[in-house]
Amino acid sequence: MKTAVVTDSTAYISKDIREKLNIHMIPLSVIFGSETYQEEVEITAADFYEEVKHKELPTTSQPPVGEFAELFEKLSKEYDAVISIHLSSGISGTFQGAVTAGSMVEDIQVFPFDSEISCMVQGFYVMEAAELAAAGKGPQEIVERLEEMKKSIRAYFMVDDLSHLQRGGRLSSAQALIGSLLQVKPLLHFEDKKIVPFEKIRTRKKAMKRMVDLFWEDVKSGEPYQAVIIHANREKEAREWKAELEAEYPNVEFMISYFGPVIGTHLGEGAMGFGWVKK
């Protein structure tokens, strides 16, 4: 059985890795006024953070269902099944788009998978699925492995300015609580597919330290883990943090990724995240 792996742009998996692992990607878009750009195709993260320095922050949109259907149709010529892995259905309609398109195509079985997260943490699922598909595993077996990964995947993130998340309506909390968080650097995470505050923390430094404490709680068991630092145009800071973590946790495999245009629209420049999963 031949299984294809599809994801969306918000996993921010580089073109090189996508090509190497045979991962198909459907982009979400950012919209500046009357101009729409597909991220990772027509606008890079570097262009985006430069643009927003002198333009109003854009809005974002999910891929049209027709684009999913077209891709699934195309894949049906070569594959028997597709696993389509997407950002959390609690923050975007992208996953539902894959579900709808999956019910429209006839010649291929579509297995939509809600990562309940986004960015390179979603990417962990995608790369694992691609490796299993390349090894000839069938869709059921791959989905089982992804469900197993869900038990150990964790991610926390902080933003410099909470107003972007509030403006985009992606922060699930009472207005009064949000108001009290605007003065601090709250640590955020996903709960039931939605973004909620995890803890009120006063400074960026303390929020980063807290993420590491939470990480330690999991990795102290000594089991093998992989981890990712995700930044919104703060590459130098991410590199320094990675070097510190590598010195402290030599048995963990760390990587650096980024919040690209779509996620950057909702988090704002300066956001920083940390995610991990048991290997």
| Chain residues in the site for ligand MYR (CB under 6 A) | 28, 60-62, 91-94, 117-119, 121, 155, 157, 170, 230, 262-263, 266-267, 273, 275
Query: Minimum distance from CB of 10 to ligand MYR (Å)?
Result: 7
Residue with the shortest CB distance to ligand MYR: 92
Query: Minimum distance from CB of 33 to ligand MYR (Å)?
Result: 16
Smaller CB separation from ligand MYR, 62 or 109: 62
Query: Minimum distance from CB of 243 to ligand MYR (Å)?
Result: 21
Name the amino acid, one letter, at 123.
G
Query: Minimum distance from CB of 177 to ligand MYR (Å)?
Result: 18
Smaller CB separation from ligand MYR, 13 or 121: 121
Query: Which residues touch 41 (CB under 8 Å, ≥6 apart)?
Result: 9, 27
What gap in Å lies between CA 201 and CA 247, rounded to an integer?
A: 25
Smaller CB separation from ligand MYR, 138 or 163: 163
Smaller CB separation from ligand MYR, 57 or 263: 263
Strands 59-61 and 154-158: unpaired
Query: Minimum distance from CB of 135 to ligand MYR (Å)?
Result: 28
Query: Minimum distance from CB of 29 to ligand MYR (Å)?
Result: 8
Query: Minimum distance from CB of 271 to ligand MYR (Å)?
Result: 8
Smaller CB separation from ligand MYR, 58 or 139: 58
Smaller CB separation from ligand MYR, 79 or 274: 274
Smaller CB separation from ligand MYR, 31 or 104: 31
Give the CA distances from residue 254 to residues 74, 121, 239, 241, 258, in Å, rounded to whole numbers and listed in that order: 35, 12, 10, 10, 14
